[in-house]
């Protein structure tokens, strides 16, 4: 790393009650101890990591895409993303853009082999987490179906309304279109509901 390398430090505090000072002090010490120049600071204050739009982060991302930043340094991973999959997505984006990444707290440095290995482990854990969530979701849906619960958007007509509409149509008192209008749905919706009910 030369003194002419383009370095960015990013800090984020989620509430106005938190202080950015500790993060910035550690980040500034880190880059100063390495003799790095051309250091730019980006700070988001009162911004949650769950938000996709973070003003300073958006400026930083734009600078990275334009080649103005070659290494990004953060205090800890949780300052960067809201979840493990989100972090992996961000760090993958950095890797694809040819940008090195360092996190002080976790001692991750993707500019060397050990750091890249650590990141690959994170990516594997993120994929495992996604698969576990997917499996739990599928199991929950299957269990709900076995208990007779409807999965998906709420149905527009209750079982009682469908039975009433069937009675009106079968007795000849109303046409299907008129029965649908009576319950505030279109004819196709009523037809599907009648079909589901047999």
Give the active site residues: 14
Instruction: Report the alpha-carbon distance of residue 85 to residue 91 in Å, rounded.
Output: 10
> Taking the CA of residue 20 as centre, how many other CA atoms within 13 Å lie in the half-sphere pointing to its CB?
19
42, two tokens: 């980006």
> Taking the CA of residue 163 as centre, how many other CA atoms within 13 Å lie in the half-sphere pointing to its CB?
3
Closest CA to 73 of 110, 46, 44, 122: 110
Distance of CA 70 to the CA centre of its chain: 25
Q: Residue written as tokens 């707290």?
A: 105
Q: How many other C-beta atoms lie within 10 A of the C-beta of residue 73? A: 23
């Amino acid at each position: 790393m030369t003194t002419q390398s383009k370095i960015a430090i990013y800090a984020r505090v989620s509430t106005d009650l938190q202080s950015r000072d500790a993060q910035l002090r550690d980040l500034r010490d880190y880059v100063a101890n390495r003799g790095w120049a051309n250091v730019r600071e980006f700070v988001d204050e009162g911004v949650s990591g769950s938000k996709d739009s973070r003003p300073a982060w958006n400026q930083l991302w734009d600078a990275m895409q334009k080649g103005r930043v070659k290494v990004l340094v953060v205090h800890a991973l949780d300052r960067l993303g809201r979840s493990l999959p989100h972090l992996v997505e961000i760090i993958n984006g950095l890797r694809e853009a040819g940008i090195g990444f360092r996190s002080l707290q976790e001692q991750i440095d993707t500019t060397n082999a050990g750091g890249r290995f650590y990141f690959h482990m994170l990516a594997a854990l993120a994929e495992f987490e996604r698969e576990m969530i997917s499996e739990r979701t599928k199991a929950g849906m299957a269990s709900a179906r076995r208990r007779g619960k409807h999965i998906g958007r709420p149905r527009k007509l209750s079982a009682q309304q469908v039975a009433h509409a069937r009675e009106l149509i079968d007795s000849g008192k109303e046409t299907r279109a008129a029965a649908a209008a009576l319950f505030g749905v279109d004819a196709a919706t009523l037809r599907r509901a009648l079909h589901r009910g047999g």
